[in-house]
């Protein structure tokens, strides 16, 4: 018998069918039972307790309308204040990236950048001289917070929100943090391994990892209805191929970290298969 965590208590006469239908579509395992004359909705993961409470309150307050179609619940306002609160890790990663970008844009010492790059560096006679990472393991992650232009930061922040919030709604914040950190390490290392020492950065490796995750995970766990629309998949894969074949650099849009994109995408697909399979097995046991 798996551990249960009480998310909310509701009057015995209240119809929770719309809410439970929506939770199923979002891949939130839960049970409803009667206790002391009330309905108790319990979840199997502690990180789902607060999001379920907030979703229930938003539903009762009329901020979210849940429609029943074919026995499943669907929220008619999928993006709103509730989801901002349900995706704190995604929001935090975006805000850190924006803060770092604005810091350097508004005159922050360029030398501070050396603490965020994959390898430490010095400028000798106008040339970058890279040193070994040593035990500074934070550098495996921190390049994702470096961005080198408005298009770079805006593009990555928007796609991070679009794909990260989807993942966080089904995984919870703790698992999403782990997911993003693993993808960051893999994508950064792939770029270093392929391109050698150099100045690179950006959240796009993580974005492509989230793309792979949200693409593959629902194939193995159909309850997770987080798969991006085909148009988004076509655009993102097309952009990846344009980068690989040098078209983006040819038109003057800057150097592209293709190895980070590919490494992130592959890592996300693998993690999507793992998380999706584990969730499917967990549901099959309930």
Q: Measuring CA to CA, how many Å separate 119 from each of 27, 32, 145, 180, 271? A: 39, 52, 14, 20, 27
CA 13 to chain centre: 38
Taking the C-alpha atoms of residue 8 and residue 34, their distance in angstroms, rounded to an integer, is 12
Helix and strand element counts for the chain (H, E)? 10, 7
Let me know: does 166 contact 225? Beta carbons within 8 Å: no
| Of 204, 277, 279, 283, catalytic | 204
Round to the nearest angstrom and report the end-to-end CA distance of the chain.
9
Taking the C-alpha atoms of residue 276 and residue 265, their distance in angstroms, rounded to an integer, is 16
Taking the C-alpha atoms of residue 159 and residue 157, their distance in angstroms, rounded to an integer, is 6
Instruction: Show Cβ contacts of residue 214 under 8 Å, excluding neighbours closer than 6 positions.
Output: 163, 166, 167, 226, 227, 228, 272
| Of 147, 152, 261, 279, catalytic | 261
Does 277 qualify as catalytic in the annotation? no
Does 152 qualify as catalytic in the annotation? no
**Any idea which residues carry the catalytic annotation?**
204, 261
């Amino acid at each position: 018998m798996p551990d249960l965590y009480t998310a909310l208590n509701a009057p015995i006469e209240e119809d929770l069918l719309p809410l439970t239908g929506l939770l199923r579509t979002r891949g939130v395992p839960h049970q409803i039972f009667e206790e002391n004359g009330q309905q108790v909705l319990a979840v199997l993961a502690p990180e789902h307790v607060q999001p379920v409470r907030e979703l229930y309150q938003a539903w009762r307050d009329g901020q979210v309308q849940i429609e029943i179609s074919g026995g499943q619940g669907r929220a008619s306002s999928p993006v709103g204040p509730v989801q901002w609160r349900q995706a704190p890790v995604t929001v935090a990663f975006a805000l850190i990236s924006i803060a770092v970008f604005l810091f350097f844009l508004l005159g922050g010492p360029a030398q501070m950048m050396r603490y965020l790059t994959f390898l430490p560096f010095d400028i000798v006679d106008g040339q970058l001289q890279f040193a070994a990472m040593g035990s500074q393991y934070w550098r495996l992650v921190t390049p994702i917070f470096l961005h080198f232009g408005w298009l770079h930061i805006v593009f990555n922040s928007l796609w991070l929100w679009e794909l990260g919030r989807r993942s966080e709604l089904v995984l919870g914040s703790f698992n999403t943090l782990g997911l993003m950190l693993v993808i960051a390490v893999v994508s950064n290392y792939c770029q270093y391994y392929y391109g050698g020492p150099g100045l690179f950065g950006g959240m796009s490796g993580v974005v492509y990892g989230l793309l792979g995750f949200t693409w593959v995970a629902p194939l193995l766990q159909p309850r997770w209805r987080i798969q991006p629309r085909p148009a988004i998949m076509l655009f993102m894969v097309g952009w990846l191929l344009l980068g690989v074949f040098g078209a983006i650099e040819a038109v003057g849009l800057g150097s592209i970290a293709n190895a980070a994109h590919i490494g992130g995408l592959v890592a996300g697909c693998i993690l999507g298969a793992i998380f999706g399979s584990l969730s499917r097995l967990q549901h099959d046991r309930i």
